[in-house]
């Protein structure tokens, strides 16, 4: 029997994160969004709640939970705000998880306690200005100087989340480290601590959405780090990052579901209160049908990411299901944001309204961690095409 009901501990976590989002995030996030400031106090509170340590073992300062538990937290945060949710998602899934999955005991001991506590953030340096979805076309290079036993890194990265905050401690960078026997690029991942000479963080982007999250372009000009900063096996960087991205797509699906459900929440509330032509607009079938469709999309997307997460935790191949969940959930979020704005009319077009922020935040969900086109490619390949 398939059972998607949550256990008692999971229900308790959902309730606590929901309360935090409504009581702590909702009252202040609009101001952060408008001023484009990073919500350090909210991040600090999430750290104290243990959210950054949810899927990590207790020996590394984690909470001993699993990846699905992280997804539940992301969904609840995104029902109120996506900037806070993506800060957690990127900090855990893209920042700490590569070290947890592939790091040496020394690397884990050095970095994970700070990352799992939320005292520090890490970033995932994959995308480059000229490569986009074609991650295999990476041009950033790292050469091993055998005289000093150091990697010398040159290149740049673009659109990197959590890379320039006051508490960012490292960026994991994918770089070309040589040429394989078949002539293809040898790609490896290397840990670059913040503040390393030659590592420059550009000013934050001016973004359409996620305006309270941290995103920068990065430059590496003869950046030197110890050879021991190699993360995982040399030449396995691309495979490692694909694993991280597969997991991350489930997390982005969960975040998308949160935004989609937030659109339902706000629309139901507004439809009950807004009076037009002598009665609440929720009495009109046209509005009822719009909101019913929104609920259908949110529910179906939730089932999709639950399924992908269950397969992942069972040790099964989940790439296909992760792509399905990410594709459907991100497009559901975009559709729901559009419908919620329509339900709210002129008020929905105001940045001060929650649905106005939802509308601006939704589009990136169809782009980040694999565009919708990339997800369709993965799905088609999974069908043998």
Helices (H) and strands (E) in the chain, counts: 12, 10
pLDDT band at 189 (very low <50, low <70, confident <90, very high): very high
Residues 100-126 have pLDDT tens digits of 999 999 999 999 999 999 999 999 999
Residue 147 DSSP SS3 = coil
pLDDT at 135: 72
pLDDT at 235: 93
Average pLDDT on 50-79 reads 95
pLDDT at 119: 97
pLDDT at 54: 96
* Mean pLDDT score of the chain: 95
Largest CA distance in the chain: 82
* φ, ψ of residue 191 in degrees (nearest 5): -80, 125
Q: Which of 9, 19, 369, 373 is catalytic?
A: 369
Q: Is the pLDDT of residue 281 over 60?
A: yes
Q: What is the CATH number of domain 8-121?
A: 1.10.540.10
Q: Is the pLDDT of residue 183 over 90?
A: no
Average pLDDT on 65-77 reads 96
Count the neighbouring beta carbons within 10 Å of the beta carbon of residue 233: 12
Residue 72 DSSP SS3 = helix
For residue 34, give both structure tokens: 């408008």
Domain 123-234, second-level architecture:
Beta Barrel (2.40)
- % of the chain beyond a pLDDT of 70: 99
Q: With contact defined as beta carbons under 8 Å apart, do 249 and 243 qualify?
A: no
Q: Tell me the torsion sign for CA atoms 38, 107, 317, 64.
A: negative
Q: Is the pLDDT of residue 180 over 60?
A: yes
* Superfamily (CATH) of domain 239-382: Butyryl-CoA Dehydrogenase, subunit A, domain 3 (1.20.140.10)
Residues 338, 330: Cα–Cα separation, whole Å: 13
Residues 332, 262: Cα–Cα separation, whole Å: 12
pLDDT at 12: 95
Average pLDDT on 315-340 reads 97
Q: Give residue limits of the domains in the chain.
A: 8-121, 123-234, 239-382
Average pLDDT on 59-76 reads 95
Q: With contact defined as beta carbons under 8 Å apart, do 21 and 79 qualify?
A: yes
Angle at 243 between CA 200 and CA 3, to 5 degrees: 130
Q: Could you tell me which of 327, 303, 315 has the C-alpha nearest to residue 375?
A: 327
Give the length of the chain. 385
Sequence-distant (≥ 6) Cβ neighbours of residue 220 within 8 angstroms: 140, 153, 154, 155, 156, 173, 192, 198, 199, 200
Listing DSSP states for 236-279 in one string gives -HHHHHHHHHHHHHHHHHHHHHHHHHHHHHHHHHHHHH-EETTE
pLDDT at 2: 61
Q: Is the pLDDT of residue 42 over 80?
A: yes
What's 94-139 look like in SS3? HHHHHHHHHCCHHHHHHHHHHHHHCCCEEEEECCCCCCCCCHHHCC
Q: Is the pLDDT of residue 1 over 60?
A: no
Q: Is the pLDDT of residue 335 over 90?
A: yes
Average pLDDT on 176-185 reads 90
pLDDT at 72: 98
Query: Active site includes 369?
Result: yes
pLDDT at 182: 87
Residue 2 DSSP SS3 = coil
């Amino acid at each position: 029997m398939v059972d998607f009901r949550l256990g008692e501990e999971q229900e308790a976590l959902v309730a606590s994160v929901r309360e935090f989002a409504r009581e702590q995030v909702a009252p202040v996030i609009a101001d952060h969004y408008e001023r484009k400031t990073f919500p350090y106090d909210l991040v600090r509170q999430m750290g104290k709640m243990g959210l950054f340590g949810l899927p990590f073992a207790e020996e590394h300062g984690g909470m001993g939970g699993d990846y699905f538990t992280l997804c539940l937290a992301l969904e609840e945060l995104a029902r109120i705000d996506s900037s806070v949710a993506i800060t957690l998602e990127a900090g855990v899934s893209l920042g700490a998880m590569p070290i947890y999955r592939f790091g040496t005991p020394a690397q884990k001991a050095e970095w994970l306690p700070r990352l799992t506590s939320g005292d520090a953030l890490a970033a995932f340096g994959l995308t480059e200005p000229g490569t986009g979805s074609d991650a295999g076309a990476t041009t950033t290079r790292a050469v091993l100087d055998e005289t000093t036993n150091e990697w010398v890194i040159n290149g740049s990265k673009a659109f990197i989340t959590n890379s320039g905050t006051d508490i960012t401690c490292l960026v994991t960078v994918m770089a070309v480290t040589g040429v394989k026997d078949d002539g293809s690029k040898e790609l490896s991942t290397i840990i670059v601590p913040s503040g390393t000479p030659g590592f420059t963080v550009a000013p934050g982007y001016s973004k359409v959405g996620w305006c309270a999250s941290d995103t920068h372009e990065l430059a590496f000009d003869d950046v030197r780090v110890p050879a021991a900063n190699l993360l995982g096996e040399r030449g396995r960087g691309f495979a490692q990052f694909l694993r991280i991205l597969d997991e991350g797509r489930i997390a982005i699906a969960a975040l998308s579901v949160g935004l989609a459900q937030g659109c339902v929440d706000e629309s139901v509330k507004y439809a009950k209160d807004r009076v037009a032509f002598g009665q609440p607009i929720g009495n009109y079938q046209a509005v009822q049908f719009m909101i019913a469709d929104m609920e259908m999309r949110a529910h179906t997307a939730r089932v999709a990411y639950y399924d992908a997460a269950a397969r992942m935790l069972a040790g099964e191949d989940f790439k296909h299901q992760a792509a399905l969940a990410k594709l459907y959930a991100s497009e559901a979020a975009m559709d729901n944001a559009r419908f919620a704005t329509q339900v709210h009319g002129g008020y929905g077009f105001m940045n001060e309204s929650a649905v106005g922020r939802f509308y601006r935040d939704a589009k990136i969900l169809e782009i980040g961690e694999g565009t919708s086109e990339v997800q369709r490619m993965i799905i088609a390949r999974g069908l043998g095409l």
